Structure 1
Amino acid sequence: MKVHVRYLLASSLTALLTPGLVHAQVGDAERGTAADTSDIIVTGTRVTGRQRLDTASPVDVLSGAALRSQGTTELGQALSNVTPSLDFPRSAAVDGTDSIRPATLRGLSPDQTLVLINGIRGHASALLNTNGSVGRGSAAFDLNTIPTVALDRVEVLRDGASAQYGSDAIAGVINLRLREARSGGGASASYGQYETSVKTARQSRDRHDGKTYNASVWQGFGIGEDGFLTISGDYLKRGHTSRGDLDRRVTPNAVTSRFGDPEVEQYTVFANFGVPMNDVWSVYGYAGYQNRDSTGAAFPRLAGNANNLTSSFYPNGFLPKINVKSDDINSAIGIKGELSTWAVDLSVSYGRNALTLHTRNSVNSTYGAASPTDFYDGKLIYDQIVGGLDVSKKFDFADGNSLNVAWGVEYRNEGFAIREGQVESYARGPLGVATYVLPNGALGSTLGSGAQGFQGFSPANALSRHRDNVSAYLDLEAQLGKLLLGLAGRGESYSDFGETATGKFSARYDLTDSFALRGTVSTGFRAPSLQQQYYTLTQPQVTNINGAAAVVDIGTFPSTSPVATALGGKPLDAEKSFNLSGGFVFRSGGFDLTVDAYRIKLRDQLALSDNLGTGVNSSPAITALLRPFNVSAARFFVNGLRSTTKGIDLVAHYRLVTGAAGNFDITVAGNLNDVKLTRVPTGTGTITVPALFGQQRIVSIEDGTPGEKLTGQLDWSKSGFGGLVRATYYGSVTQPASSLVDYVETGKHVIVDAELRAPLLRKSNVAIGVNNLFDVYPDRVPDSNVINYNNGGTAFPYYSPFGFNGRFLYARVNLAW
C-alpha cells in the first residue's frame, strides 16, 4: 500500500482519539444494561488482579455480551468484527475448509495463534487446510466450536508468548473465559437471512437465502455456599447461500454452482463449575460438546460428459456436496489452593475433534452403472491430553515493590488418525484403466477415480500417530516503583523432533498516572502438527492434456515418505520466531488509548509445497519417480520459509455517561500490517524441482489478509433502549491464481452494521439489526478470468476478509431471569 494511505489511516485514528476494542461496550443485550467493564485479566501475566491497561503487553478484553450483541452466530466472525488485528475469511469451494474456517491474527498462519479455554490449552481441529484458502497448510483451533452464550469474556493477547504458554503462541493468545454464575439465567432466539442484490460479471439478481435460526439458553446454579455450576446450550440451523455467476456451458446460461456458505445444523452444550473443598482448596472444571453437520458444494458437473455418467444417473448434470460431520469435545478438571504460602493449580484436560466425511449427490465414474451416489469418505481424528502444574507466589517489599515468581510443568500427549472410507469413495473401478500417455510420459485416464467432488481416504492413507512432550517454565514479574519488569523462559522436549527453548523480556514504565511506555522482546516457536507431518491423500484433479481436459491423480504425502524424500522432503522442524513490540498507554477520565508497534521475524516456517509433476514442475524424471505410486503429481510440507511481519495496532475507547441522553461508548480500532517473505526454499532432493514453493503461495502469504483494517463503533443505551452503529474499513486483498493475469483484488471497502434495542418485559429486550447495511461486495471476478471463465463458480474472490454474501437482516429476542 502507498505510504500516504497508511499515513492517512494512522492520522485518522489518532485524531479521532476514540479507539479501544469492545471491552466496555454499552448495551448488554441480555440485561439491557451496560456490559461488565471490569478489566482484570489473567492472560499474559501471572500476577493476580492486574488490569489490561497496566500490562507490558497489549491485551484486549471483549465482553461476552458485546460478542452476542451482533448479527452473527459464529464466534470467529464476532471476534473479527470488533478486533482489527484478527481476520476470519469466509472461503468457499475449498472442501472441508468451507465448514471448518480458520482465523488469522496479524496476518500470520491460523495455527500460529494459541487458543486457551479458561487458561488451559485448547485442541486443534482434525482438519488440515490443503486447498487454496487463506491459512493453507494449517490445522488450527476451530473458534466456532465455542458458542458465545457460554462465554463471560474473551481476552486477546497481541504479543508473542511462547515462553509463557508454549507452542503456537507466535502471533498471540486468545483466552476464552467461560461464564461463572451461581444464579440467574437467560435465553435468546434470533432469526435472520440475506436480502441482497448480487451483481456478478454476467448478471444481476436478487437473493433471499441463508436463513438462520439460533436459540440459546444458560442457567447458573449454586453449589454449597460459594460454589457454582453454569450450564449453557446453543442450537443453530443455517441455510446455504449461492453467489455464483452464469455457467456458459449450459444453454440458456444459468447458475449451476452453489458458491457461498454451506448449510449448517449444530448444537452445543457447555458446563463450567467451581466448588470450594475447604477454606484453602477448591475444585473446578468444564466440559463441552458440539455436534455440527455442515454441507458445502463442489463445482458442478455437466450432462453429456462421459466422466459424469449423466445418462445413467444425472440426465441434467449434478452438483457434488461435501458433507462434514464434526464431533468436538473440550473438557478439563483441576484443583487449586495454597501450599506453604504458594498458590498451586493442578489440572488435566482432554480435547477431541472427529470429522466424518461424506460426498453426496456424486458418482465414481470408473464403476459405471454400479457406482453409488452417496459415499462415506472416511474420518479424521485429533485428540489431546494436557496435564499442567502452575505454582506462584508474590513477594511484597517496602515502598510498594514486589516480585511475583511463577513456575510450572506441563505434559501433553497428542494423537492423529485417518480412517479409510468405503471402497468406491477412493478406488479406480473396472472402467478406470489408463487410456493415454501424458506428454511427460505419465499414464492418464479420462475417468477420475473416487467420488467426484471429494475423494475418500484409502487403506494406504489410514494411520494412527501419537507424540508427547514435556515442558517447564519460569516466569518472573517485578514491580519496582513505576517500573515493571518481566522475564520468562521455557524449555520443551518433543518425542518426535527434539528440544526447543524460548524466552521473553518485557518492561513498562509509568511516566505519569496517565501515560506509560511499554515493550517486549521474545522468541517463539510452533511445533509441526501431527496433521502436517502425517496427513496423506490422493485425489483426482482436472488438467489440460493436448488441449483437452483430462484427470490425473495428485498425492499429498508425509515429508519423510520415499516419494517426498526423493523430491526434497525432510523431517519437519519447529517454526521459530523473534518478536519485538513497543508502544504506549494513555488514559484520562473515561478515555484510554494504546498504540503498539511490532515486528515478527519467522524462520523455518512451514508450508505445503506446490504440486510437483504438473506445470513448471513437470519433467520425465519426476514422472518416472511418481509412476510406482500411481500418481501424476505429489506435494508435501517443507520448512525453510522466512518472513518478516511489521505493523501497528491502535486501540482506544471513550465512555461518556450522561443523565439525560444516556450512556455512550465510542470505539475505534485499527491495524496496519505488512507481511514479506524474505526466503523461499528450493528443491534439495535427488530430482531437480524448479519451483518447490511458487509465486501463487508467496502472494497468498504476503497479501492474503488486509494490510489495513479500521473499525469505528458507537454504542448508546438509556433505560433499556439502545443502538449500535459500526463501520469497518478493509484494505484490498489479493487472491492469486496460476497466472499473473488472473490474480484478482477484493478492493477497498467499508462495511456498516447497525442494531436497535428496546426493552421487553422487566429484564428482557428485543433487537433488530442489519449487517452490511449498504449491501457491499468485494470486487467481482472479471468475466474473462480463468477461475470464473467457464462455470462461473467463483464469481467473487473467496479471500475476501468480509465474505461475499451481502446484506443480512436479523431480529433477536433476549430473555433474562
Structure 2
Amino acid sequence: MKNFKKQLLAAAPLALLLASPALAQEETSGGDELRQSQIVVTGTRSADRTALETAVPVDVFPVEELTDTGRVELNQILTTTVPSFNFNQTAINDGTDIVRPATLRGLAPDQTLVLVNGKRRHSAALVNINGSVGRGSAAVDLNTIPTTAIGSVQVLRDGASAQYGSDAIAGVINVLLREDSSGGGVNVRYGAHVTDPEGLNRSEIDGQTTTVGGWAGFGLGEDGFLTVSAEYSLRKRTNRAGLDPRQQFPDLPEFDEAERTFNRLNHNYGNGRAENINGFFNAGYTLDNGAELYAFGGVQDREGESPGFYRRAIDARNIAEIYPAGFLPVIGGDVLDYSLGGGIRGTANEWDYDFSVVKGSNELDYSVNNSLNASLGPTSQTSFDAGSLKFDQLTFNADIVRTFDTLLPGTTTLAFGAEYRDENFEIEAGEEASWIQGPFPATDYFGNPISPTAAAGSQVFPGFTPESAVDEGRDASSIYGEVEWEPNDRTLLSAALRYEDYSDFGDTTTGKIAGRYDFTDQVAIRGAISTGFRAPSLQQQYFTAISTNFIDGVPFEVGTFPATSPAAIALGGGQLQAEESVSYSLGTVITPTPDWFVTIDAYRIDIDDQIFLTENLGGAEVQQVLADAGVNAQLVRFFQNGIKTGTTGIDIVTKYDFDFGDMGDLGVSAAFNYSKTEVTDVPQNQVIPSLTLFGRDRTLTLEESAPETKLILSADYGYKIADFNVRATRFGDVVDPSNNPDNDFTLEADWIIDASVDFQVSERVSLGLGADNVLDEYPTMTPSNQSFNGIFPYSSRSPYGFSGRYVYARASYSW
C-alpha cells in the first residue's frame, strides 16, 4: 500500500509536466518572466546576456524559488533545486557534523568555486578527515549565508578555472545579495520532524526549528542603497538511533536492576543541536562622475554539537566514580565566520573597470563536553577546550572590460584583469587536560587497574597538542584575459586564458574556449572545452593532529601529519601539487515559446593528480621506515596527489509558465542529472609497494557517494490569495561501500515529496503551511551486521538524510 501511495503521488507532478509540451502550442498571455531569461553575471563578462543566451549552462534561482520549502540551510535548499548538487546528513563525524560538505556534479566539495556578488568566498577552516563524503576536502561553507540576505543564486555548470581561478573544476556558485533601497520584510518559521522511523517501532517529534529573519532597504541619498538583513535560527537535535542491546554494567547480581532499567536509547544519531546568528549587508552609492562605490559583508556565529559514541559504564575509557552509568561525550563547535568587501566600479574612456578587496575569515573553536580524560583519574574535569582551526583570506581584484563594435565584424568584448590573494591557516592547541597523557592506569568499573596506561585526552575528541599547532600562509597572483566575439546575431565565440603563481607549489596556466550557434530563434547548440586546476589548500598541506599513545610503556605518535613532514616524506609523500582537469561540454537550448525552454547539456571531466588523504599506515615495515628517518610513530596518514578520475554526465532542465487569466498562473519545471564518476588510477606507494594508500571503500565513495541519477519535478500554482507548491525529487541509488565487497550495500532510489501552501491574507501579511518529505520516507536500512548492534539503522550516505517528515508553519510581514 505504501509503495502504491508513493507512486501515485509522485506520478501527479510528472503527468502535469509531460502535458506541458502539448499545451505549449496554445496561445498564452505571457506569464511570469522565466528565471532563465534573467541577466547573468556568472561565466560571462558581457553585461546584458541572459541564461538562455550563454555558451555554457547557467541556472538562475531567485530567492522566492529557493524558499518554497521548509528547508532553512542554503545547502539543503540547493539540494532540491539543483539536480547535480548533493548534500549529505552526516552524523557522529566530529566537526563534519557542524560544517557539512556539499558536492556539485559528483566531484569533491572543494572542486566548486563559490562567489558572493561575483567575488571569491573564503573556505571553511575545517578539513574533513573522517569517513564522510568529501573526505580530505576543505570547502566553502554555504550555510554561513542566510537566505534573508540573498537576492538570487546563479549556478554555472561548467569548468571555469580560466575565468575565475582555482577550484572551479565542477562549476561556480554565485550568491547575489539583495540590492534594495526601500522596503523590507520580517518572517518567522517554526517546524519539527513528525515521523515514524521505519524499523524502529517508535514515533518521534523532534528537531524543532525556530527561524526569525528579516531584511530592510534604505536609500543612501538619491543615488545609493543599503540593504541589511539578519537571521536567527535554533534547531534542536534529532535522534534516529536504535536501542543499545549490549551489556552496560558488571555481570554481578547487584547490578541486575541497573541493567534492567537502563535507558538503552543512549546514542544520539541524527542532527545535532545548532544555533545560528547571522547579519549581512549590501550597499552601493553612485558618485557624480558615474562611478559606483560598493561594499558588502556579513558575520555568522554558529554553535553546533556533534555527539559521539556512548561510553558504557564498563568501558575502560570510563571512570565509574564520575559516570556510574556511562556517558555520551559531545563535541561542541563554535563557528565564527565573517567577510567584508568593497570596491569601486565605473567607466573610463569607454572601458568598464571594477577594483575590489575582500577579507574573509572562518574560525572553528572546539570544545568537548560531558566527557573526561581517563588518564587523569577520578579528578578529571568533564569539559575541555580542545583547540581551534582558523582560515583567513584577503583578495584583491582588478577587472577591465570593453565592448567594441568596430574591432571585428559584429561585436567584440575584451576583458582582462589581475588578482592577488593572501591566505593563512592556523591550528591552536587545546588546553593541556584535553590532550595530555596522565599518570592513571586504565581501570575496570571498580577502579582495579587493567592496563598500565589509560586513554589520553578528552574522550571522543582529544584536543590539538602543542606539536599540532600550525601557523602557515601563502600568496597567489594571477592575470587573465578573455574575449567574446559575436560576428552576427546567431554566433557567439569566446576564449579565456589565465596564469596563476603560488608561493608554495609553483605556477599553472589554464584556458577555455566556448561557442554557441543559434540555428533559429528557437534552437541553439553550445559547447566548451577547458582546462582547470585546484590548488592544494593550506588545510591539506598543513593540517596536523597528533596524539600520543603508550604501548608497553613506550610513547608512540599517532595521527595526521603534514604533507612535507619527515613522516610523510619517509613514506613517499612530499609537496602537494595542483589538481589538473580537462572539461568538455556540449548542449542545446530549445525555446519553443517565450514561456517554455528546454536545455540539454552533456559533459565530461577528467581530473589528474587529485589530492587524497591516505589510509592509516602502520605495521612493522612502516615503523621501520619511520624509525630509519628518525620518526617515532605507530600509525600515520597524510595528504598526497595521485588519484585520477573521469566523470561523465548530462543535465536536462525545462520550465513552462501558464497564464490562465482569472484562474491563476501555473509554473511547471523538471530538472534531471545523470552523473557517473570512475576512478581510473590509484597511486602505488613507491617505498612499500604492499601498502594500500587508498582503500576500496574510498574508491567507491568517489564513484558511488552521489546518486547516479536525480530528477526534480516542481509545480507552482497561484490563484487569488493562495500559492500552492509541490516538488518531487527522485534520488537514485547510492552505495555505502566497504573494503570487504560482501559488506557493500545499496540505498535504493526514493521519491521525496514536498508540498506547501501560502496565503496572502493582506497586502503585507502572508501565512503558510507545508511539509517536506510528506510521505515520511527513510533510506534503506543498514544491514544488521553493519549497524553497530542495530544502534545506527540508517546510513549517513543517504542523499536526503534520515530525519523523516518535517512539518512547518511560516508567517511574514512586508513593507
TM-score normalised according to structure 1 size = 0.91
Alignment of 1:345 onto 2:350: no
Q: 1:560 aligns with which of 564, 570, 574?
A: 564
**Could you tell me which residue of structure 2 aligns to residue 321 of structure 1?**
330
Alignment of 1:300 onto 2:329: no
Distance in 1, Cα, partners of 2:138 & 2:562: 15
Distance in 2, Cα, partners of 1:156 & 1:539: 42
Alignment of 1:515 onto 2:523: yes
Alignment of 1:532 onto 2:535: no
* Cα deviation digits, residues 506-547 of structure 1 (max 9, x gap): 00000000000000000000000000000000358999x9xx
Q: 1:574 to 1:117 in 2, by over 3 A?
A: same
Contact 1:554 1:611 in 2 (8 A): no
* Cα deviation digits, residues 157-206 of structure 1 (max 9, x gap): 00000000000000000000000000000010000000011124xx3211
Contact 1:117 1:176 in 2 (8 A): yes
The one-letter amino acid paired with 1:289 is V
CA shift for structure 1 position 631: 3.9
Three-state SS of the structure 2 residue aligned to 1:205 is coil
**Could you tell me which residue of structure 1 aligns to residue 638 of structure 2?**
636
* Cα deviation digits, residues 419-452 of structure 1 (max 9, x gap): 00011111111126999xxxxxxxx976321111
The one-letter amino acid paired with 1:448 is A
Distance in 2, Cα, partners of 1:445 & 1:738: 33
Q: 1:205 aligns with which of 193, 202, 220?
A: 202
Distance in 2, Cα, partners of 1:724 & 1:372: 52
Three-state SS of the structure 1 residue aligned to 2:271 is coil
Three-state SS of the structure 2 residue aligned to 1:79 is helix
Contact 2:46 2:413 in 1 (8 A): yes
Contact 1:712 1:726 in 2 (8 A): yes
Distance in 2, Cα, partners of 1:700 & 1:539: 27
Q: 1:683 aligns with which of 663, 682, 685?
A: 685
* Cα deviation digits, residues 573-598 of structure 1 (max 9, x gap): 00000000001000022110000000
Contact 1:68 1:149 in 2 (8 A): no
Contact 1:18 1:667 in 2 (8 A): no
Q: 1:453 aligns with which of 445, 460, 477?
A: 460
**Could you tell me which residue of structure 1 aligns to residue 231 of structure 2?**
234
**Could you tell me which residue of structure 2 aligns to residue 610 of structure 1?**
615
CA shift for structure 1 position 37: 7.4
The one-letter amino acid paired with 2:331 is I
Distance in 2, Cα, partners of 1:398 & 1:501: 27
**Could you tell me which residue of structure 2 aligns to residue 600 of structure 1?**
605
Three-state SS of the structure 2 residue aligned to 1:307 is coil
Q: 1:18 to 1:421 in 2, by over 3 A?
A: farther
**Could you tell me which residue of structure 1 aligns to residue 221 of structure 2?**
224
Distance in 2, Cα, partners of 1:72 & 1:640: 38
Q: 2:811 aligns with which of 802, 808, 813?
A: 813
Alignment of 1:421 onto 2:425: no
What does 1:400-799 align with in structure 2 at a 5 Å threshold? Answer: 401-431=410-440, 447-481=454-488, 482-539=490-547, 554-589=558-593, 590-613=595-618, 618-622=619-623, 625=626, 631-685=633-687, 687-785=688-786, 788-790=787-789, 792-799=790-797
Distance in 1, Cα, partners of 2:316 & 2:623: 29
* Cα deviation digits, residues 217-260 of structure 1 (max 9, x gap): 10000011121000000000000001111212145582211010
* Cα deviation digits, residues 713-751 of structure 1 (max 9, x gap): 100112231101111111111122343332232211110
* Cα deviation digits, residues 257-310 of structure 1 (max 9, x gap): 10100101110000100001123211001020000000120111100223211x
Q: 1:129 to 1:113 in 2, by over 3 A?
A: same
Distance in 1, Cα, partners of 2:438 & 2:214: 50
CA shift for structure 1 position 554: 3.5
**Could you tell me which residue of structure 1 aligns to residue 5 of structure 2?**
none
CA shift for structure 1 position 468: 0.2
Distance in 1, Cα, partners of 2:407 & 2:345: 29
What does 1:144-223 align with in structure 2 at a 5 Å threshold? Answer: 144-200=143-199, 203-223=200-220
* Cα deviation digits, residues 31-62 of structure 1 (max 9, x gap): xx999776100000000010000000000000
The one-letter amino acid paired with 1:104 is T
* Cα deviation digits, residues 385-431 of structure 1 (max 9, x gap): 00000000000149981000000000000000000001111111112
* Cα deviation digits, residues 647-690 of structure 1 (max 9, x gap): 000001000011132110101100000000000011123x4452
**Could you tell me which residue of structure 2 aligns to residue 28 of structure 1?**
none
The one-letter amino acid paired with 2:206 is D
Contact 1:649 1:672 in 2 (8 A): yes
The one-letter amino acid paired with 1:515 is V
Contact 2:181 2:226 in 1 (8 A): yes
The one-letter amino acid paired with 1:678 is T
* Cα deviation digits, residues 778-805 of structure 1 (max 9, x gap): 10112222xx233x44221101110000
The one-letter amino acid paired with 1:573 is Q
Q: 1:42 to 1:102 in 2, by over 3 A?
A: same
The one-letter amino acid paired with 1:779 is T
Moved more, 623-632 or 166-175: 623-632
**Could you tell me which residue of structure 1 aligns to residue 137 of structure 2?**
138
- Gaps (5+ residues) in structure 2? 1-10, 22-31, 248-258, 445-450
Q: 2:799 aligns with which of 783, 796, 801?
A: 801
Contact 1:521 1:580 in 2 (8 A): yes
Three-state SS of the structure 2 residue aligned to 1:97 is helix
Three-state SS of the structure 2 residue aligned to 1:424 is helix
CA shift for structure 1 position 712: 0.4
* Cα deviation digits, residues 733-781 of structure 1 (max 9, x gap): 1122343332232211110000011112222211100000000011011
Q: 1:720 to 1:554 in 2, by over 3 A?
A: farther
CA shift for structure 1 position 815: 1.1
CA shift for structure 1 position 14: 13
* Cα deviation digits, residues 610-669 of structure 1 (max 9, x gap): 1101xxxx3354367269755421100110110000000000100001113211010110
Distance in 2, Cα, partners of 1:130 & 1:533: 13
Q: 2:392 aligns with which of 363, 383, 387?
A: 383
Alignment of 1:392 onto 2:406: no
Percent of matched pairs sharing the same residue: 42
The one-letter amino acid paired with 1:768 is L
Q: 1:629 to 1:366 in 2, by over 3 A?
A: farther
Three-state SS of the structure 1 residue aligned to 2:662 is coil
Distance in 1, Cα, partners of 2:19 & 2:708: 21
The one-letter amino acid paired with 1:588 is P
CA shift for structure 1 position 367: 0.7
**Could you tell me which residue of structure 1 aligns to residue 243 of structure 2?**
246
**Could you tell me which residue of structure 1 aligns to residue 297 of structure 2?**
287
Distance in 2, Cα, partners of 1:429 & 1:35: 65
Task: Give the count of matched residue pairs.
Answer: 769
Distance in 2, Cα, partners of 1:313 & 1:266: 32
Q: 1:665 to 1:542 in 2, by over 3 A?
A: farther
**Could you tell me which residue of structure 1 aligns to residue 29 of structure 2?**
none
Contact 1:417 1:463 in 2 (8 A): yes
Distance in 1, Cα, partners of 2:538 & 2:690: 26
Distance in 2, Cα, partners of 1:753 & 1:382: 37
Contact 2:626 2:633 in 1 (8 A): no
CA shift for structure 1 position 145: 0.3
Q: 1:449 to 1:749 in 2, by over 3 A?
A: same
TM-score normalised according to structure 2 size = 0.91
CA shift for structure 1 position 125: 0.0
Contact 2:626 2:632 in 1 (8 A): no
Q: 1:358 to 1:193 in 2, by over 3 A?
A: same
* Cα deviation digits, residues 327-386 of structure 1 (max 9, x gap): 001110100111221001000000000110001101110111121100100010000000
Q: 1:576 to 1:432 in 2, by over 3 A?
A: farther
